[in-house]
Structure 1
């Protein structure tokens, strides 16, 4: 299940919220004229809503040089839904932006726009960025890549991870300790990860992210029964938590109990129907159990609520291709072409 994009976005947000490094969010740029401000707001809304011409107006705004860092970062939040050679060029240019906030936002865009091997080539140099938070954001974006994909940046990545862990150790907050545990788990330093999680749970015993990470740590250590017990106890305390129901579904998937996982995913969507990530997971689970019609309906619901969601659109196109519903494929591609005529999927066609 593709969780890397989502994990990267959470990690980058965590860096900002926790204040890792010396940069604080600010908007010191001069206020643009009312006309330019209105143009920016309309373009951002058009991209967010997936309206026709969204990519064109988004690219136009990103080509401006008078936007504040906060406004520019907001454009990057929409860019991954509109991939193209120009989108990649714009994101790459912002890796050299003078403001760290924009560089971090560009890292997020790049991670979503390019495959792993290309990601390391573009983001590897940021491991030497003068701003600590940018180095940490680049490290987060490179986690999980194979040694071949990381290539020459393996050494610099290890150096930055060491700095990252040291910085998080000095933050007495649950989120920081959970993130630290995840970094340790990536390096299979399970004992240190356990210490970080113990600290997180001592600060916030019912922190759901900490509990979910503890479940995964126990699984990595081969402790299946204890991992299940931790999750079960958490669900007893929070039976109406969509997050925990979703985590239960993932646990069941990892242990090859796909039909029970489907029930947990359905419950998560029932509890939090506006969460498109949960609904996307439900769709893939339904498809894996040969319930293709139901899977398609879940994806249609996502697109009805969020037309800009390219990931759901691409998956629905693939599902319709599988069932030979080429007319529906053409409709989705036509809508995608209206949004972004340079989308690689549009160029590829049927």
Structure 2
């Protein structure tokens, strides 16, 4: 289970549906089609032996003398004034005495309590411990065991948030939602795990086939394969399995192929199987089912704070989003070309791994890597796959496998491998060194999408993003580029989004659809209606999401019967997906949005309120419930909710903005302006906050301030006619004639044939030049 930071909490809504599966009640194979690793062992002894002792084998185990690595010999660890104790007791069992492992630590009320360890979780470079509760929940202790050798700083207890001061009132406390094993991590640590969450009682009763990640977690249920072994005719190329996980050979990988060619297609099943757990994603379908990754998951794009602007890893993103950016993936390289699939070990040591495809006589030389042979700098991975350490002790490599770009670090704010290693040097030094090497080889660095993705939302951003979105960049880069256009709602943005509706890449189609929520509702409905029948579930769900609006019920009623059926079918599928996540605040918030769009205000309010109660540190449900109150004319309830939220979320622009709008409706204009101003200042690049503030200033006759705010925003969107009109009208009313002429000239450039503008510009010019103004 990952550690969490406060920035992680503030961005949990980016995960949307990222919860899944599990309170733990061990049963015999709960699904008839799962046969168990012991059965697989009978024919696949070598693979079984390789798997034993692997990270998958140790993903989760019952606590025994062999599986528990931590020191429970009455050891103590003090954090934030609380001293926790790890100890053992002996208990009676059928086969004699059995050791039980315990921790005495602070409970949800901040009092010391003794808890038995229910399960171990992982083993290297750290091991966590799960504590069970009567409601079926399992919580992961935030004090973990550093299982590295003592010579490397290991063999100690440590806290996963060492730089925080977490107590029982904090959402990062181990008893809270962020360390709840059931809805955070369980689906990737056991085989055939079924989450049986009961929303009426807020309890779990989950079953699984095997407690760890065993054979069928990757291959699927094995009963059909067993049946195949008994057949006289064994022509089935899948041998009874639901999917074929073998990768193309290295020889095939080295054969040039067009984009989307056979090697990439052949690796799709393996990418889907491994990527189901090794990715930052939301769950939208049955993750145990075979088939396209995007029918089961909604992959997170290259957005902050998950990634740096250039696509390098920042938060814990678990590999796939990085790997999809790499040239290797697009050539057909997949997971098992580098990792042995059962032991998970690297197939070759050091640079020999890369030499499977890259000629070492060319690349494993000082002329290429510019470092002494055999040094740390000569290792391919240290330049092309730099490490970031998570959970205090766990370094993980960036799988985008990229050229270091110190020349872009100042622009993108991203790190680079050069100064990550040479910590006594800076980006300028690294840029000059890299430029000198390139000059020696008469080479140039290729264009990089990071600069465009890092650009501020201004007049030049659209052109940069349009070029990216229609380029030959990886699909995840093009989809991210489209998402960046959410900051620039314009006719050109919509035109570009609609052009990408038929992209062959699922990520691009879904991202394009998400932009259409800026369209007028009837146009939006007609635009996305065909995508409600897209063959990929992630695309269909994106289409439903942009249609969730109070306008849906009436608009749907105007459709022909056949199209109404399409909408109803998509809504039913979406609801089923949302109901998978009723144990998360994000899932409840999304359910609230669903019921609001259906016109069921009572159910919507109940889901929003439960979401807020479950996770008060997230703001999405607060804003949505405020909007619901507004629609019902309950501004007093909205005001009370937002004032309560302000005590916890004073630095969140969306809360300040919503409070400002609520105060405007109640007629408290001066107070409203204060909160609208704070929202604009807290998010200076958030165009909507600034625009509403400018409108409010103009409406309350604060004309000079309205001109300043409009001018500030015009630096972001210099051709925005609404801003120009606010500036022009404010200048005219306050008799700032030079300012009025400036805005009028800009409007005239947008509308050169408008006779009224032509007359106004001429009048202002004549009067200013004549000295009348």
Q: Specify if TM > 0.5.
A: yes
For 1:347 and 1:118, how far apart are their aligned partners in 2? 28
1:156 is aligned to: 566
Structure 2 residue 712 is matched with structure 1 residue 301: yes
Contact 2:509 2:539 in 1 (8 A): yes
SS in 2 for 1:207: coil
Q: In the alignment, does 2:387 pair up with 1:123?
A: no
SS of match in other structure, 2:502: coil
**Residue 249, structure 1, aligned to residue 660, structure 2:** yes
Which of 45, 66, 73 is the equivalent residue of 2:479?
73
Correspondence for 1:314: 721
| 8 A Cα contact 1:15 1:137, kept in partner | no
Return closer, same or farther for 1:214/1:297 CA change in 2, 3 Å cut-off: same
* Distance in 2 separating the partners of 1:245 and 1:61: 34
User: Residues 279-317 of structure 1: CA distance to partner in whole angstroms, max 9, x if unpaired?
Assistant: 22211111222323312211222344xx3x368x33221
- How far apart, in 1, do the equivalents of 2:597 and 2:449 lie? 40
- Counterpart contact for 1:55–1:82, Cα < 8 Å: no
Q: Is the aligned partner of 1:211 residue 2:622?
A: yes
SS of 1:96's equivalent in the other structure is: coil
Alignment match of 1:105 (pick from 493, 507, 511): 511
Change (3 A) 1:232 1:55: closer
Shift of 1:326: 3.6
- 1:38 match: secondary structure: coil
Contact 1:320 1:326 in 2 (8 A): no
1:20 maps to which of 284, 288, 300: 284
* Closer, same or farther: CA 40–188 of 1 in aligned 2, 3 Å: same
Q: 1:15 to 1:101 in 2, by over 3 A?
A: farther
TM-score (norm 1): 0.74
Paired positions, count: 322
Note the 1:182-193 alignment, pairs <5 A.
182-193=593-604
Q: How does 1:1-350 map to 2 (within 5 A)?
A: 14=16, 18-21=282-285, 22-25=296-299, 26=321, 28=324, 31=327, 37-38=446-447, 40-41=449-450, 48-51=457-460, 58-64=465-471, 66-79=472-485, 81=488, 90-112=496-518, 114-144=519-549, 145=551, 147=554, 151-152=559-560, 153-171=563-581, 172-221=583-632, 223-271=634-682, 273=684, 275-304=686-715, 307=716, 309=717, 313-322=720-729, 323=731, 325-331=740-746, 345=750
Q: CA RMSD in A?
A: 3.8
Q: Which residue of 2 aligns with 1:337?
A: none
1 CA distance for matches of 2:748 and 2:13?
32
Deviation at 1:102, TM superposition (A): 0.7
What CA distance in whole angstroms lies between the structure 1 residues aligned with 2:741 and 2:326?
50
Distance 2:630 2:510 in 1: 32
From the superposition, tell whether residues 190 and 50 of structure 1 become closer, same or farther in structure 2 (CA, over 3 Å).
Answer: same
Task: Report the alpha carbon displacement of residue 78 of structure 1 after superposing the two structures with TM.
Answer: 4.4
Q: Is the 8 A contact 1:47 1:58 kept in 2?
A: no
SS at 2:671 equivalent: helix
2: CA distance, partners of 1:279 / 1:269: 5
1:266 is paired with a residue whose SS is: helix
The structure with the greater share of residues assigned to strand is 2
Report SS of the residue matched to 1:290: coil
In the aligned structure 2, how far is the partner of 1:182 from the partner of 1:196?
9
Are 2:17 and 2:586, in contact at CA under 8 Å, matched by a contact in 1? no
Question: Could you say what secondary structure the match of 2:297 adopts?
Answer: coil
Could you list the runs of 5+ residues in structure 1 that have no partner in the other structure? 1-9, 335-344
Unaligned runs of 5+ in 2: 1-11, 19-280, 286-295, 300-320, 331-401, 404-443, 733-739, 758-773
Structure (1 or 2) with the greater helix fraction: 1
Change (3 A) 1:136 1:154: same
What is the rounded CA distance, in whole Å, between the counterparts of 2:651 and 2:325 in structure 1?
A: 44
SS in 2 for 1:97: coil
Q: What is the rounded CA distance, in whole Å, between the counterparts of 1:243 and 1:199 in structure 2?
A: 20
Quote the Cα distance in structure 2 between the aligned partners of 1:250 and 1:28. 42
Cα–Cα, structure 1 residues 319 and 13, in superposed 2: closer, same or farther, change >3 Å?
A: farther
The 1-side partners of 2:489 and 2:640 are apart by 42
Task: Give the aligned partner of residue 195 of structure 2.
Answer: none
Distance of 2:464 and 2:685 partners within structure 1: 27
Deviations 1:86-116 (A, max 9, x none): x65543332122322111111133444x544
TM-score by length of 2: 0.37
Alpha-carbon displacement from aligned partner over 1:50-86 (angstroms, at most 9, x marks no partner) = 33xx65554444443x32111111331345648567x
Change (3 A) 1:296 1:156: farther
Cα offset, 1:137, TM superposition: 1.6
Query: Cα gap change, 1:13/1:95 in structure 2, threshold over 3 Å: closer, same or farther?
Result: farther
Distance 1:268 1:129, change over 3 A: same
Question: Does the Cα contact within 8 Å between 1:181 and 1:197 map onto a contact in 2?
Answer: yes
How far, CA to CA, are the matches of 1:79 and 1:346 in structure 2?
Answer: 24
Whose radius of gyration is greater, 1 or 2?
Answer: 2
